[in-house]
Amino acid sequence: MKRMTLIEMDGFLKGKCISCDLKVNETNAEYMVRKFAEAEAKCAALAAENAGLKSGAMDEIKVINRGGQAYCVKDGVQVNPMYARGWNDYRAKFLQSDTPATDAFLAEIRAEARNEGINYTASRLAAAFNHGFINVNDG
């Protein structure tokens, strides 16, 4: 999703331009309410996933603070916490949690960064060419 720049937003608010995803017969106010609602929903999904990840991390910290006894006792005998099967199962389950909202958000950020990187590199190459740092042979 492309973000509006400050100049584009100013033009939109002054009625000089419209957004490409403005719906038919939608007013500027309705458009802004819809976009804010979409952003709020995205933030709520990210916050919910973050809370789940934090609670899992806190559970893990509690286990570590207890010395791992809850996950490191097998048949009444304490085993090495680093290699206890229960501990490793717990860690594997925690590390494999699904985070679709976070994954989608990060994919969007990566795509944006990739496009910005390509544009930056292209502009630097053009500047180097324009200033004579890159020679193009005609042969």
Quote the tokens at residue 2: 């492309």
Decide: 12 and 4 in contact? Cβ < 8 Å. yes
Counting every residue written for the chain, the total comes to: 139
pLDDT digits (tens, 9 = 90+) for 94-127: 666 778 888 888 888 888 888 888 888 888 888 8
Spatial distance between the Cα atoms of 69 and 71, rounded to a whole number of angstroms: 5
CB atoms within 10 A of CB 55: 10
Give residue 64's pLDDT band: very low, low, confident or very high (50, 70, 90): low
Half-sphere exposure at residue 17, Cβ-oriented, CA atoms within 13 angstroms: 12
Give residue 54's pLDDT band: very low, low, confident or very high (50, 70, 90): confident
pLDDT the model gives residue 5:
79
Does the predicted TM-score (pTM) go above 0.85? no
pLDDT digits (tens, 9 = 90+) for 82-94: 555 566 666 667 6
